[in-house]
Amino acid sequence: MTARDGGRPRALGELVFLLLWFLLFARLDAAVGKDFAAATAHALALQSAEHAVHLDIELSANRWLAGNPVLGRPAVYLYRLYYVVVAGTLLWVFVRHGDVYRRVRRTMVAMMVLVLPVYWAVPMSPPRFALPGAVDVVAAYDFLHLQSWTNPTHYTAMPSMHVGWSLWCAYAVWSALRGAHPRLALLAWVFPLLMTADVITTGNHYVLDVVGSVALLGVSIVAASLCGRLVRQSSHR
């Protein structure tokens, strides 16, 4: 298949592009959210806003999970290995649903572009650091034994990209299946619901971080649609 807009691009070129893009994103992501004082201040402001509207459930949810090691360990596996689901979803759409691949890939790229300025402008400490008494559940049951986990170098809780990527996976699967299998397509949205529960109970994100993730996906879908329209218009000239 030729690499027309809306179709599947060539595999080798796409692989090179994605590898380079993810490497660039990782480098830029590691460079933002360095201001601990600002991250703490933003976290306190967010907590105050949540308390005002009775959404401040993070500490009670975290303590509940910390007291249930049977659930704590699977929660850590989900938190650590969600990248496998993201990569698998991208590969599945590329191989089996080339008609929607470019659209969902553009949405993924848009999310990565749009989230970095937010991380730069609004660094945010996660609940496990900002809430007194919060338990770092991932550190307690981390099967990967990543020492850097307890001594982070950047603070980027808002929005949650764990939830953001899981929302992208659901959107990609829904886009691919909604025509032929509408009920099956709806099941994909269970993944971000599970991830939302995971990041809140493990002490890594706030409720409003999840709201930010939903907003990020929505804006990214619009940006990807506009980009696709521009590409099609330029190809018709």
Q: What is the pLDDT of residues 189-210, one digit of tens each?
A: 999 999 999 999 999 999 999 9
Give ∠ CA 39-141-192 in degrees, rounded to 5. 65
Residue 49 domain flag: yes
| Interval 147-162 mean pLDDT | 75
- Residue 112 to residue 164: CA distance in whole angstroms: 10
Whether 3 and 98 have beta carbons less than 8 Å apart is answered as no
Whether 123 and 156 have beta carbons less than 8 Å apart is answered as yes
Tens digits of per-residue pLDDT, 60-88? 999 999 999 999 999 999 999 999 999 99
Whether 156 and 120 have beta carbons less than 8 Å apart is answered as no
Q: Tokens for 71? A: 């659930």
Residue 28 domain flag: no
- Residue 213 to residue 198: CA distance in whole angstroms: 14
At 151 the pLDDT is 53
Closest CA to 209 of 77, 55, 38, 31: 55
Whether 116 and 183 have beta carbons less than 8 Å apart is answered as no
As a whole number, the mean pLDDT across the chain is 90
Residue 19 domain flag: no
Residue 186 domain flag: yes
- Residue 60 to residue 131: CA distance in whole angstroms: 11
Boundaries of domain holding 219: 35-235
Strands (E), 5-101: none
At 232 the pLDDT is 78
Q: Tokens for 54? A: 């009775």
Q: pLDDT at residue 233 above 70? A: yes
Q: What distance lies between CA 57 and its chain's CA centroid?
A: 21
Q: pLDDT at residue 126 above 90? A: yes
Residues 6+ apart with CB under 8 A from 146: none
- The packing angle between helices 190-201 and 58-66, to 10°, is 90
Count of domains observed in the chain:
1
- Residue 25 to residue 8: CA distance in whole angstroms: 23
Q: pLDDT at residue 155 above 80? A: yes
Q: pLDDT at residue 142 above 90? A: no
Whether 16 and 9 have beta carbons less than 8 Å apart is answered as no
| Interval 110-126 mean pLDDT | 95
At 147 the pLDDT is 47
Residue 176 domain flag: yes
Q: pLDDT at residue 2 above 60? A: no
- Residue 165 to residue 167: CA distance in whole angstroms: 5
At 86 the pLDDT is 96
Residue 11 domain flag: no
Residue 204 domain flag: yes
Residue 126 domain flag: yes
